[in-house]
Chain A
Amino acid sequence: MQKTFRITDEDGIHARPATALVNTANKFKDTESFAEASGKKVTLKSILGVLSLGLEQGDSLTLISEGPSAEDALNALAEVMVNEGLGELND
């Protein structure tokens, strides 16, 4: 399952929210989560991976979770996106 966001933070995805995303993804051991942007897909369990997407304000980002806790993981990640002021859900 997946959700797509539009990045609203003017610095794009920077270290602090990236840290929060990775920490959240790491909580779900049985589930793999990914971030996908401009055709590049990285594991959300890697801060370097997330930063390597080079996301900027206005970019689109899709979060994908696969595994037994996919729904919980995706919801938790979406919450980080919104709470950190990173992005808004793109319906």
Chain B
Amino acid sequence: MTNIKGIAASAGIAIAKAFILEHPDYTVKHTQVEDADREAARLDDALSRSRAELEDIKSRTLQELGEKKAEIFESHLLILDDPELINPVKDKIREESVAAEYALNETANQFIEMFQNMKSAYLQERAADMRDVTKRVLKHLLGLNYVSPSEISEEVIVIAEDLTPSDTAQLNRNFVKGFTTNIGGRTSHSAIMARSLEIPAVVGTQSILSSAESGDLIIVDGLEGLVFINPDEDTVAQYRDKQEQYAKQLEEWSKLRGEPTITQDGVHVELAANIGTPNDVTGVLENGGEGVGLYRTEFLYMGRDKLPSEEVQYNAYKSVLEKMQGKPVVVRTLDIGGDKELPYLDLPKEMNPFLGFRAVRLCLDRQDLFRTQLRALLRASVHGDLRIMFPMIATLGEFREAKGLLEDEKAKLAAEGIAVSDRIQLGIMVEIPSTAVMADQFAKEVDFFSIGTNDLIQYTMAADRMNERVSYLYQPYNPAILRLVKMVIDAAHKEGRWAGMCGEMAGDPVAIPLLLGLGLDEFSMSATSILPARSQISRLSEAQMQELASKALELRTAEEVVELVESTVSQ
């Protein structure tokens, strides 16, 4: 038995077999061969293995997801048999005496290029199918051992260096019981996704990938941040108990589902959830969320070959608003750049991506894509209580410019006779210290603030939270952060606006008493944190937390703040 310590990223206990997810290297070299017949035979063999694999995926997809989803694999199968592909590959092997993988790759690339150059957007996307099929065959030719996460069909714990957004999007919750990665922290993309998928996860283990093998029995303890490889029977039994206890705790919390969040002294606060896709709304409602405090629209833009159309976006926003049945939904406009890339935008690499061309900065420059998003949002606004916020606002000028574009699109829609809600609240994310400091001025022009602590902390402390050597400076409880948060909340209240928080801090049991004391109106967190937070807040008194917060603001270090909270509030 080996046990490894990591960072508890998503609560819960999972026990299952290891599934190692490694991204294979599909690089193909120009290799000359002597025996062309042998290469042709290798190609046939790889094709027939790919065919068997696809038949299997097709029949499973048919059973689980229905005919429509299975159709795509039918056309993949046809490509494998396609004489227009296979004949030229074989000709190339014989005429140029090259290895099968090289001939395949070259020929397939011609088709990929052909699709990419087509007029029809639909046909351009077929390049992705061609790429998919090619990779499948190359995998066999190169002897790569790779199963994509979408093909997992038994209960597993996924183990990886890190999970990309497209990996996480493909995870099937029915089979993936938990995951653990070498890198990442509580606020890394994969950790956030794990919480929204409600799968136990431990990240930042550094060594799990080199320690575990496919098929090993794994326990992921997402409560303590521990991973066990091939645990003994006693440990397994102990963890089965722990799993049961946790289920009971969840059961206890679930009683608070339809309840409002009210402190001991009768103050109501709103608990909302952060979501990434329309599907996440189910989790929000199941966990008793009173709204969506942050809808990250990036996922609409990721994992595809080109920008999503206005219609695709409109449907997503409308779906979220409708499912939330009139409860508030705060949508953040595109926040891309920094650590989140979109290959098709072809953005240059930057020395300091976090200080660079991202979020609203990019949107104000690429007005075409920003306007499309704003139009889709405005059109969807009639389906619920839509609130729009701009990310990474650093100056009033940026806010005014973004707002101007929104007003512009609103006027155009009105001219086209398209209905738009007249009660859309417009706010900003406060993530940059300059904006927090100027909150009193911003409060005169915005309807609300949402404090994004993940970035606010790293910009205030000038430390990248993903950089292990300086991650100790990611200090949510540092009095400097608390003071900035206070400035923002006070400024909002002075102008009769509301202030929320959608950063990780909002769901943190140590921060909650402080934020309550500082007067935060809305807490937006991972859906699974809502019920524990509601349970905690219902045991606290706002008056007492105000005292706690004012003491904390006078302390010198983060450690002192944590000590104060822990000695005042029983967790």
* Chain A residues in the interface with B (C-beta under 8 A): 11-12, 14-16, 18-19, 22-23, 42-43, 45-49, 51-52, 54, 56
* Chain B residues in the interface with A (C-beta under 8 A): 71-72, 74-75, 78-79, 82-85, 111, 114-115, 118-120, 122-123, 126, 129-130
Q: Is the CB of B78 within 8 A of A11?
A: no
CA distance A21 to B434 in the complex (A): 61
Q: A22-B78, A52-B114 are in contact. Are A15 and B126 (CB under 8 A)?
A: yes
Q: Is the CB of A54 within 8 A of B82?
A: no
Q: Is the CB of B83 within 8 A of A47?
A: no
A-B pairs with beta carbons under 8 Å apart, 24 shown = A11-B120, A11-B122, A12-B122, A15-B72, A15-B75, A15-B129, A19-B74, A23-B78, A43-B84, A46-B85, A47-B78, A47-B79, A48-B79, A48-B85, A48-B130, A49-B82, A49-B84, A51-B115, A51-B126, A52-B114, A54-B118, A54-B123, A56-B119, A56-B120
Q: In the assembled complex, how far is the CB of residue B334 from the closest CB belonging to chain A, in whole angstroms?
A: 26
Q: In the assembled complex, how far is the CB of residue B309 from the closest CB belonging to chain A, in whole angstroms?
A: 13
- For B71, the closest partner residue in chain A by CB is A16
Q: Is the CB of B75 within 8 A of A16?
A: yes
By a CB distance below 8 angstroms, the chain B residues around A18 are 75
- For A42, the closest partner residue in chain B by CB is B84
- For A46, the closest partner residue in chain B by CB is B84
Q: In the assembled complex, how far is the CB of residue A29 from the closest CB belonging to chain B, in whole angstroms?
A: 13
- For A54, the closest partner residue in chain B by CB is B118
Q: In the assembled complex, how far is the CB of residue A17 from the closest CB belonging to chain B, in whole angstroms?
A: 10
Could you say which of B79, B85, B119 has the most chain A C-beta atoms within 10 Å of its C-beta? B79
By a CB distance below 8 angstroms, the chain A residues around B122 are 11-12, 14
Q: In the assembled complex, how far is the CB of residue B312 from the closest CB belonging to chain A, in whole angstroms?
A: 14
CA distance A19 to B130 in the complex (A): 14
CA distance A12 to B120 in the complex (A): 8
Q: Is the CB of B83 within 8 A of A46?
A: yes
Could you say which of B75, B85, B114, B130 has the most chain A C-beta atoms within 10 Å of its C-beta? B75
> B78, B85, B119: which contacts A19 (Cβ < 8 A)?
B78
CA distance A51 to B125 in the complex (A): 12
CA distance A45 to B123 in the complex (A): 19
> A14, A48, A54: which contacts B111 (Cβ < 8 A)?
A48
> A11, A14, A15, A48: which contacts B82 (Cβ < 8 A)?
A48
Q: Which 3 A/B pairs are nearest by Cβ-Cβ distance?
A: A46-B84, A47-B78, A15-B75
By a CB distance below 8 angstroms, the chain A residues around B84 are 42-43, 46, 48-49, 52
- For B86, the closest partner residue in chain A by CB is A46
> A15, A16, A45, A51: which contacts B83 (Cβ < 8 A)?
A45
- For B121, the closest partner residue in chain A by CB is A11
Q: Is the CB of B83 within 8 A of A12?
A: no
By a CB distance below 8 angstroms, the chain B residues around A56 are 119-120
Q: Is the CB of B78 within 8 A of A51?
A: no
By a CB distance below 8 angstroms, the chain B residues around A43 are 83-84
Taking A15-B72, A47-B82 as given, write out 10 further A-B residue pairs in contact, using a Cβ cutoff of 8 Å, ordered by the A residue number: A15-B129, A22-B78, A23-B78, A43-B84, A46-B84, A46-B85, A48-B79, A49-B82, A54-B123, A56-B120
By a CB distance below 8 angstroms, the chain B residues around A15 are 71-72, 75, 126, 129
CA distance A43 to B75 in the complex (A): 16
Could you say which of B72, B74, B123, B129 has the most chain A C-beta atoms within 10 Å of its C-beta? B123
- For B117, the closest partner residue in chain A by CB is A54
Q: In the assembled complex, how far is the CB of residue B421 from the closest CB belonging to chain A, in whole angstroms?
A: 30
By a CB distance below 8 angstroms, the chain B residues around A54 are 118-120, 123
CA distance A49 to B86 in the complex (A): 12
Q: Is the CB of A51 within 8 A of B71?
A: no
CA distance A49 to B122 in the complex (A): 16
Q: In the assembled complex, how far is the CB of residue A84 from the closest CB belonging to chain B, in whole angstroms?
A: 12
By a CB distance below 8 angstroms, the chain B residues around A14 are 122-123
Could you say which of A11, A14, A16, A47 has the most chain B C-beta atoms within 10 Å of its C-beta? A47
